[in-house]
Amino acid sequence: MASKAQLENKLRTDMMNQIIEMVSNSLETEGLVVSASEIAVPVVDDEGNEKFILIKVSVPRGTRDGEGGYIPYDGYYAREAYQNELASKAQEKAVKKAMKAAEKGKKKEE
C-alpha cells in the first residue's frame, strides 16, 4: 500500500506528463521540467522576444485544522471565493469611479 505522499507525488508527476504532452502537441514547443513540480514553456511575445511561462503543478492538502490534521482543499470553493473577490474588487472600482465622477461634476459646478 502506497503512502499518502507517494500517491500525491505520482498524481503530480502523471499530471505534469499530461501537461507536457498537451503543450508539445498543441503549441509545437516542448515543456521543460525545471523542478519536481514546475514546467517552463518557451514562448514568444508579440514583439518576438523569447519568454517563459511557468506552470506549477501541486496537490494541495488544504488548511491546517489546529488539531494536527487538514481541512481538505476544495477547488470548487476556491473558484467561488476567487470569483467573489473579483466581483468585490470590480464593485469597489466602480464605486470609486462614480465618486470621482461626482467630485469632478461638483467642481465643474463651482
pLDDT tens per residue, range 45-103: 999 999 999 999 999 988 998 898 889 999 999 999 999 999 999 999 999 998 888 88
CA distance 107 to 1: 73
pTM of the model: 0.71
Q: In the chain, what is the straight-line distance between the N-terminal and C-terminal CA atoms, in Å?
A: 78
Helical (H) or strand (E) element with 71 = strand 70-72
Helical (H) or strand (E) element with 70 = strand 70-72
Task: Please tell me the predicted confidence (pLDDT) of residue 68.
Answer: 86
CA distance 36 to 10: 11
Between 110 and 30, the more confident residue is 30
- 63 phi and psi, to 5 degrees? -110, 150
